[in-house]
Structures are given as C-alpha cells and as structure tokens.
Amino acid sequence: MSGFLFHDVIFGPVRSRRLGLSLGINLLPLHKKLCSFNCIYCECGWTPAFVPSASEFPDRTQVARFLEQKLKQLVAEEYLPDSLTYAGNGEPTLHPEFSGIVDDTIELRNKYAPDTKVTVLSNSSMIHHPKVFAALNKLDNNILKLDAGSEKMLSLINQPVTPLVFKKLISGLKMFNGNLIIQSMFLKGTVDGQIIDNTTQEEVLQWLNLLTEIKPKMVMVYPVARETPVHSIEKISDEVLQEIAERVRAAGLNVSVYH
C-alpha cells in the first residue's frame, strides 16, 4: 500500500469527524510522506527513509499566500470552515518554520474568519523544541497524540523513526498545563507475528494513569477508519471505545468518542 497523500499546500475544506468543516494546511513536502513516526495505521502509508531538502517544504510566504487566497474565496462563498488544520503528509511540526507559520495563520484567521479555530494534529514528537512548544500553546486546538500508556506499546504502534524517550514525551505533555487535547487511536492487530493490542485492561490503565498526570482539557478516543499499511488491524467496536471513555470520565476528564 502506497498510502494516500496530499498534493496541495491548502486542501479542502473537508468534513472531519472531529473538527467539523476543516480547511487543511499541509506543511510537508508534496507527493511524499515525512514523519518522525511510522505508525502501523497511518493513512499515508509507511514512512520512507529520506531526508528532505529545505526547498521541498512549502516556504512560509507560500503557505500564507495560498491560505489567504483560499480564505478570500471562502469568505466570498460564505463557506467558512470551522477549523484551519495543520495536517497532511506526516508530522506538521517538522516544518523548520512552523512557529512563524502559526503566527501567520492566526493573523489571517483573525482577519478573514475570526470564529474559526486553528488546529494541529501532531504526534507530539517535537514538543521538546522550545519554538514548537510555544507555537503549539498559541493554538485553539492543540491536538497531540498519545496512543499508548507504555513505552513498549507506543514503540509497537507508532514505531518512532528517530529515538524517542517515553518519559521525556510525557514530561513535555505535562508542561502544557492542560492546554492540549490528547488524541488516542485504539486498535488490535498482528505485525510480524507480534500481537498488538492497546485495549487490554493493563494498557488502558497505564494510559489512563498518564492522562491523570497530563490533565488535558479533552481526550479524543477513536478507532481505525481508513485503510492501513497493516491489513490485520481490527477496527475496535463502539462498545469497547465507550467502555474506555467511561473510565476516562470516571477519572474526571472530558472525553469524546469518534467512529
């Protein structure tokens, strides 16, 4: 499976199960996936081994120009999105000018669509970089991934491409002081003969214990909804997701289940 890729800097708006009408902002190289993770469920397919040159990223001025053009069009059509969403072909915070692009996006949002939220869908791997951390703190929806409560399970599901220290990741999430939303994919599957299941009682308890430390303002729980590189992955039932969500609520946290 090659995966689904975005071939434009600005795409949509599209209907999102979590964000409503979402206008996507792809900060990654076009026609290629670039990510610090190699998640077994990624709709973009496997992460290739390549180091992009600076010229392969859409530059800051280009992103701002394309976004402004699209926002002007949507204002004229009276079809403003609910969210401007950094997503696309991998991990958006890998863009070397991510911080400045966030400032540009917020400025354009305030000018053309003041009721629209600015959102990131991130795997959390770059939050230890001060500029990235500061930029994420400015967003309305700072949505950060935490798919597992243990380092072993995270490694099996997310397969970090570059070294990732689990304790450092959790410490970084805690530093947002609640100004974040945790997104968690629940799944079962077998990869290279290894059973992977983050829905077990033990795994959910470890994940929940971390959530009580991180104290996010919202937890998003969801199953696989698109084709995945590993075909053995199972879509978790709504019943199981609801049981997990009830445990989150019992811990005093807000949670939403998406299908």
**For the domain bounded by 10-257, which CATH number is listed?**
3.20.20.70
Rounded to 10 degrees, the C-alpha dihedral 29/32/33/35 comes to -50
Residues 6 or more apart whose Cβ sits within 8 Å of residue 201 = none
Confidence of residue 236 (pLDDT cuts 50, 70, 90): very high
Q: 100: which residues sit within 8 A by CB, 6+ positions away? A: 60
| Least trusted range by pLDDT, from 97-111, 122-136, 190-204 | 190-204
| Region 230-242 average pLDDT | 90
47 vs 186, residue with greater confidence: 186
pLDDT for 248 beyond 90? yes
Q: Are 229 and 1 in contact (CB under 8 A)?
A: yes
Q: Band the pLDDT of 31: cuts 50, 70, 90.
A: confident
Q: Which of 217, 226, 132, 133 is nearest to 183 (CA)?
A: 217
The DSSP call for residue 190 is E
**Is there a contact between 220 and 258 (Cβ–Cβ < 8 Å)?**
yes
Q: In the 8-state DSSP scheme, what is residue 138? A: T
* Tokens coding 123: 């795997």
Helix (H) or strand (E) holding 64: helix 60-77
Q: Distance from CA of residue 80 to its chain's centroid?
A: 22
Mean predicted confidence (pLDDT) in 55-72: 95
Query: What would the mean pLDDT of 92-111 be, rounded to a whole number?
Result: 97
Cβ–Cβ < 8 Å for 67, 105: yes
- Nearest C-alpha neighbor of 70 from the set 12, 114, 128: 12
Higher pLDDT pick, 5 / 167? 167
| Segment 14-40 mean pLDDT | 91
Mean pLDDT of 6-30: 91
- Residue 51 above 80 pLDDT? no
Average pLDDT, the chain: 93
Which pTM does this prediction carry? 0.94
